[in-house]
Each structure stands twice: as C-alpha cells, then as structure tokens.
Amino acid sequence: MNIHEYQAKELLAKHGLPVPRGIAALSVEEAVEAARQLPGPLYVVKSQIHAGGRGKGRFKELGPDAKGGVRLARSIEEVESHAREMLGNTLVTVQTGDEGKQVNRLYVTDGVDIGKEYYLSMLVDRASGRVAMIASTEGGMSIEDVAHETPEKIVTITIDPAQGFMPHHGRALAYGLKLDGDLAKQAQKLGRQLYDAFHALDCEMIEINPLAESNGTLMVLDTKMSFDGNALFRHPELADLRDVTEEDPAEVEASEHDLAYIKLDGNIGCMVNGAGLAMATMDIIKLNGAFPANFLDVGGGASREKVTAAFKIILKDPAVEGILVNIFGGIMKCDVIADGIVAAAKDVNLSVPLVVRLEGTNVEQGKAILDNSGLAIVSADDLGDAARKIVAEVRKAA
Ligand code: ADP
Ligand code: MG
C-alpha cells in the first residue's frame, strides 16, 4: 500500500525526523487557509499523487509552458493561483504513464532554502534478506539515473535484523554522504530514526529524495512510503491513510470481494482458483501465442457471488476479448462452480467467448450443467486444451 507524501511526512515526524511544516488541502480555500497558518514568506505547493517526478511533471490541461506539480510561491496569492491551476487537473510525470493522474489533494509547506540535496532510502533487499539503506550525494534527481551514470556515488548499507541499526551504520551513512562535524551527527541520528520508523511501520520502502541541507540542518523535503500489505493487519491505524482514488478501481473492487486481481496488458481474461494455477494458466496462454488480461484468483471458496463479481471485474476491462475459466474443484465441487458460472454469465450478459476447464469432484455433473446451459460455453478437458481453445475462439471472433 502506498500513501501520500504529506501522510508519510507526518509519520516520519512522529518518529522524530526533521520535516518542514506543512498542511494538506483538498480545495483552493483550504490551500489559502493552510498558507495563512504557515510563517511564510516562502511556500511550496505540492500536488499529492502516488507518483514521483512531480516537479518536472506537466499538467495535461495547461500549456507546455505552465509550471509542474511542485511550485514555489512567494505570497498567499501565489499559493492560491497555483492551487487553482493544480486541483482537478491531470499531472503527467515519468512515473504516471501518459494518462497521468488527477490531482485531488495538495500539500502546502514551508519553502526551504536548500544548500545541497541528498538521497536516502530504505527497502527490503530480497537478495540479502535484509533491510538496506541506500544513500547518495546526488539527491533531487532520479536515483535510477544516478545508478546508471555514476553508480560509484551510491552507497548501500545492509542491516542485520538481529542487530538493528548500529552506530557503525550511522557512521557509514554520514561517510557515504560525505558529511562531517554536526551534519554527520545529524545524519547518524536521522539514519537511526528512519530505520526505527521503517521497522515499526512494517514498511516495504521509504525514499527521501531530496534530503536537503538547509542552513546547517538536514531536512526531509520529499518522501515516498509504502507498506508491506501482508503486515497491514498489524497496523489498523494505517488503514485510514489509504487513498483508493489512487488505485486501479478494478483492483479496489476485487479486494472488496476478497478476490486477488491484478490487471495485465493482454486480451484474455482469466478466472482461476489458486495462485499457482493462475500463474500456470497465464503461462500456458502465452505459450499459445496470446497474453493474459489479468491475474485473478477467486480463492478456495468460489461462491456464485464471487464468480459473478469476478466476471464483472474481468469484463470491465475493454481489452478483454475472451475469458478462460480454469477451476479445480477440490474444496468446492465442480457442479456448484458450474452453476455459479452459468448464473454469472447470464447475469452479466456475456458477450465474449468463454472457455471453461473444470477438474475435480463432480466434474461430470459440472460439465453437463455447462453443456445444457444454452450458453455458448466451450468446455475444455485440460489446461493445454483450454488455452488452445480460448486463443482460437478469440482469433475467430476478431
Ligand atoms: P518530486 O520528486 O515528485 O518531483 P519533490 O518534493 O522532490 O517532488 O520536489 C521537487 C523539487 O522541488 C525538490 O528536488 C526540491 O528541489 C524542491 N522542493 C521540494 N520541496 C521543497 C521545499 N519545501 N522547499 C524548497 N524546495 C523544495
Ligand atoms: Mg522528490
């Protein structure tokens, strides 16, 4: 789960990290009010979307000369005009894709006089099975570019979870950022605070870019934070931070029905029970020269309601030209599943070819239900047969 910059900064501030003052705003009026509460005279108005590169981003609705999604303002009037230009408009950045993201929230924050920009992040490094801290003297720009052009300017510090963040990690961080004296001390403290926040919140990633030096003080000017979804149950306090308008609506709907759905780029919708079978189904579709439109695991208890919801979600994707249902009736019986499929197909007025492969308990009864449904359901015998049939059906229909 991802959250907005302002939310992440509030969490980091709670863990003691130095963050400039700022207030979130949902309207132009709120943005003006926020600026009034800040000391000024320098403000920064920041679009809140779940994507980086906002500063260099462009608004679709504004001309190419308009400013980006992070803007300095020298007066409250300027805050107001920036807020007016940003709210409701679509920000396109290197991370949003061409379609961009609509800006519905702003963050009005203190403008900071930046001396130098650094990069600092933490993430779970799967290769070492540890948490890694990544730091660079080249802040403010994309770390991918730094990694590509000057990889020697990136330092990685891995932290043994049994030890936690030790003083030598802090020194390595300060050294990596080429800081000495008081700034080095600040970096050491900040590294520990960041590690503690990362650990306490079960984060997947925290990125601070830039970490800025301003008049002798290090400050978090921008941050991105994401949480390990499997640990969210431990953090009911984080649930409110979710902004579903930032997520794929189909994926949100699927999670409401307890379906594991991920949209992909192909044209063959898949409805499968079990993640392993779902992966195998996607592979075999590819083997037959087509591409899956989604990953969808209806889980063990595929009730009629769940199957119907799954059909609807798959069909909302305009790229879907055919559906392959591949269900193993283990806990569920095939006849119950077949009933669900037929009812759901009628319910949604299915207009694309549907191939169903059932296997397991009561498979014969299940196939009979499909055959006698009066619907144009093609039944398949095994996985390979099913994939060949759906690819052929889609080609025929095209
Ligand atoms: P993004 O990474 O999405 O472009 P940032 O928050 O990093 O957004 O903002 C882009 C740039 O704007 C930063 O690299 C920094 O130079 C400047 N900036 C951001 N916040 C402030 C601030 N509070 N005061 C001064 N400059 C800022
Ligand atoms: Mg940034």
CA dist 383 and 324 (Å) reads 10
Nearest-CA residue for ligand 1 atom 7 is: 222
Per the listing, tokens 């403008």 go with: 111
275-300 in b/e burial notation, b at 16+ Cβ within 10 A? eebbeebbebbeebebebbbbbbbbe
Under 8 Å CB-to-CB from 235, ≥6 apart: which residues?
A: 201, 202, 227
Mutate to test the pocket of ligand 1, among 19, 38, 43, 44 (most ligand atoms within 8 A of CB): 44
Per-residue pLDDT, averaged over 349-375, amounts to 91
Any atom of ligand 1 within 6 Å of the Cβ of 18: no
- How would DSSP label each residue in 173-186? HHHHTT--HHHHHH
- The tens digit of pLDDT for each residue in 88-125 reads 999 999 999 898 999 999 999 999 999 999 999 999 99
Per-residue pLDDT, averaged over 21-28, amounts to 97
Q: Token digits for 79?
A: 């805050």
Q: Is the pLDDT of residue 301 over 80?
A: no
Cα Rg, the chain, nearest whole Å = 26
- The tens digit of pLDDT for each residue in 268-281 reads 999 999 899 999 99
Any atom of ligand 1 within 6 Å of the Cβ of 53: yes
- How would DSSP label each residue in 152-167? GGEEEEEE-TTT-S-H
Query: Which ranges in 158-274 belong to alpha helices (H)?
Result: 167-176, 181-200, 249-256
* C-beta of residue 110 within 8 angstroms of C-beta of residue 38: yes
What region does 377 belong to: left with phi over 0, alpha with psi -120 to 50, or beta? beta
| 207 has catalytic annotation | yes
Q: Which of 82, 24, 91 is CA-nearest to residue 52? A: 91
- Under the banding of pLDDT at 50, 70 and 90, the label for residue 158 is very high
Q: Which atom of ligand 1 is nearest to the CA of 70?
A: 9
For residue 73, what are the β-bridge partners? Answer: 43
Q: Is the pLDDT of residue 62 over 90?
A: yes
Any atom of ligand 1 within 6 Å of the Cβ of 16: no
Q: Which atom of ligand 1 is nearest to the CA of 57?
A: 4
Q: Is the pLDDT of residue 9 over 80?
A: yes
Per-residue pLDDT, averaged over 123-138, amounts to 94
Per-residue pLDDT, averaged over 360-384, amounts to 91
- The tens digit of pLDDT for each residue in 312-358 reads 899 888 999 999 999 988 877 888 888 888 988 888 888 899 999 99
**Closest ligand to the CA of 209:** 2
* C-beta of residue 214 within 8 angstroms of C-beta of residue 44: no
**Closest ligand to the CA of 94:** 1
Any atom of ligand 1 within 6 Å of the Cβ of 68: no
DSSP reduced 3-state for 237: helix
| Ligand 1 centroid distance, CA of 17 (Å) | 17
- Under the banding of pLDDT at 50, 70 and 90, the label for residue 362 is very high
Could you give the domains of the chain?
Answer: 21-110 (3.30.1490.20), 116-238 (3.30.470.20), 249-397 (3.40.50.261)
- The tens digit of pLDDT for each residue in 165-201 reads 999 999 999 999 999 999 999 999 999 999 999 999 9
| Ligand 2 centroid distance, CA of 354 (Å) | 46
